[in-house]
Amino acid sequence: MRQKIVAGNWKMNKTLEEAHILTAELMGMVADEVKGNVITVLCAPFPYLLPIKNQLGNSSIKVGAQNCSEHDSGAYTGEVSATMLKSMAIPYVIIGHSERRQYFGENGKLLATKVDKALANNVTPIFCCGEPLEIREKGTHEALVKQQVEESLFHLNQEAIQKVVVAYEPVWAIGTGKTATSQQAQDMHAVIRQHIAAKYGSATADKISILYGGSVKADNAKELFACADVDGGLVGGASLKSREFVEIVKAIG
């Protein structure tokens, strides 16, 4: 059975005090209410990773970073390496989020290197792929997403690819209030899984968790998570509200 994962991407939000309050609320709610085999991940801004990890202690909630450098170390002011994440025992890192692609020009080749760095340091990459509105309207979204997966993941061997979590994010549904229908989400998740299966075999593809990342909310999570190939969510704005985020996590149980 594939691992169910719900990861909250806080993006560039919250002061440290606010982050501690949110984490404390989530710890209590998750401990009291969340049952079943689901991993909850909080992807916090870099300055908060260690404070939040320390606060979580023995909680079932995990912490993740929102990015990592393609370099191990060196004169790269402002960057954070996967080696640094490993030294803090941070188990997850988001790689290739649509905002990184859009605002920082990250391309498939660069992201392939970042995936390699994360895996080399035993940090699980949550690799993002997805199409903007104009590509969806042209009907070339499947081809683009397949290309993104190929460019950044298909250099991996059979063992390594199974350590990657994939997140499909229809860019047109992020922060817009729009959400792909459950059928649109399932269709694209199936395309991704079938594309991986074509290279690595069905047995391998069936082990890889694929998360949906397009305006997941408490009121649509259950329908999305009921889809055969949707194994959880990468949650943006809703992850900043403790009650709504926990309702999303509960929806996958």
Which residues are known catalytic residues?
A: 97, 169
User: What is the distance between the alpha carbons of residues 24 and 42, in angstroms, rounded to a whole number?
Assistant: 12
Query: In 49-181, where does DSSP find H-type helix?
Result: 49-56, 82-87, 98-104, 108-120, 133-138, 141-153, 158-161
Element (H, E) at 78: none
User: What is the distance between the alpha carbons of residues 198 and 86, in angstroms, rounded to a whole number?
Assistant: 32
Torsion 133-139-140-144 (CA) sign: positive
User: Phi/psi of residue 24, each to 5°?
Assistant: -65, -40
User: Phi/psi of residue 4, each to 5°?
Assistant: -85, 130
Q: Any idea which residue has 């997850």 for tokens? A: 92
- Decide if 43 contacts 9 (C-beta within 8 A): yes
- Decide if 87 contacts 51 (C-beta within 8 A): no
Buried b (16+ CB within 10 A) or exposed e, 93-114: bbbbbbbbbeeeebebebbbeb
User: How is residue 232 written in tokens?
Assistant: 């959880």
User: How is residue 180 written in tokens?
Assistant: 């792909």
